[in-house]
Amino acid sequence: MSKKRIEWIDIVKAIGMFLIVMGHTLEVYTFSGFAKWIFAVHVPVFFVLSGYLFRAKPFKTVFQSGWRNLLLPYLATAVIVYLLSFLHPFFPNWFYQVDAREYFLRVLYGSGTNIDFFLDKTVHIQAIGAIWFLVAMFVGNVLFNGLVKLKEHVAKESVLVLTVFLMTVLGFYLTKKGIYLPWSLNAALVSQSFYYAGHLFRRVEAIDKGDWALTLVGLGLWGLSAQSGFFYLNVASAAAPTLAVLGGIGGSYVLMFGAYKLCRWRSWRGLAYYGKMSLAVLCIHLIEMSATTSAGRFYHACLALGASQVVAVFSEIVYRTLITIMFIVILPHLPGLRSFYLNRRYPFRAKKV
């Protein structure tokens, strides 16, 4: 039997995914102040939620779960993007071309942005795109599982806090020195602060027993982070790292507490389903961005029809969101493909009764 899902957590995932789609679709507003608010929280909130739900497990279980729920979707998405590139010669204006050797290196490294390999600066590695998050979370889960087990062994909270702090500092430091480790390890190191914050929220019942005063503090921290500059968690880069971490935690609390209150008012089944399918949403969003030019063409078509920049950007966001919605509606009805993205529900081999 599957564990009962917590609706407000799925609502937060839905909001987080919508912010990710929006953040990738701002066009002329990509470096605006509004974008800074989005980047301050849209990825950190997923690590905070993971920490909130985290329970220490045997490492074998963590690896097996990570393979099924994170690495399988990562590989499937990468393969689909590559296969779609074969349509480029037939539809050059609609599909991107991919160089096999360069793409293999890109998939193998799993970087969230274009980088130079730190051991040989002449080797350039292109970004894999939004699914960097999947490999980073795989590594992040393993690291945090080890930290929680360490804390249980030494029975000292201070050891856990210090180790999380040192890992976070190391992640930012490596980026500052131009050392971008494979599988977005820089981001995985920084993410430990968000895992710990979520873990702490659960232990002290910060969401259930929270109040609006604490939410205002979180909102203030989120605002300070946005005011300080962009936070690119994909490469562990921030103008003000301390404010970035505090803002990510504060903003996540705002979204979590707000969703918790929202669900006490009424049920939001449609939005919750979008959040429940957030991993599949991320992957189809990456496929649409990395394999096709459709969203960009749609945006420019809106401008050509006389729409303002605001209307064109808003329309493109709606367009991309609708693509993700259509995908998650039909995905459960696609045997084979659904086993890559919903392996827990649709394993490749059904269990014998």
pLDDT tens per residue, range 192-248: 999 999 999 999 999 988 888 999 999 999 999 999 999 999 999 999 999 999 999
What are the pLDDT digits (tens) for 287-342?
999 999 999 999 999 999 999 999 999 999 999 999 999 999 999 999 999 999 99
State the average pLDDT over residues 241-259: 97
State the average pLDDT over residues 138-163: 88
Q: Report H helices in the chain.
A: 7-23, 33-39, 44-53, 59-66, 72-84, 100-109, 132-154, 157-176, 185-203, 212-228, 241-265, 269-276, 278-291, 294-304, 309-330, 337-341
* Residue 351 banded pLDDT, cuts 50, 70, 90: low
CA distance 283 to 118: 28
Q: Where are the domains of the chain?
A: 7-341
State the average pLDDT over residues 150-173: 89
Mean pLDDT of the chain: 93
Given the structure tokens 């350039």, which residue do they identify?
A: 124
The CB density around residue 320, as the number of other CB atoms within 10 Å, is: 23
- Tell whether the model's pLDDT for residue 61 goes beyond 50: yes
For the question of whether the overall pTM of this predicted structure is more than 0.85, the answer is: yes
Is residue 63 exposed (0-12), middle (13-18) or buried (19+ Cβ within 10 Å)? Answer: middle
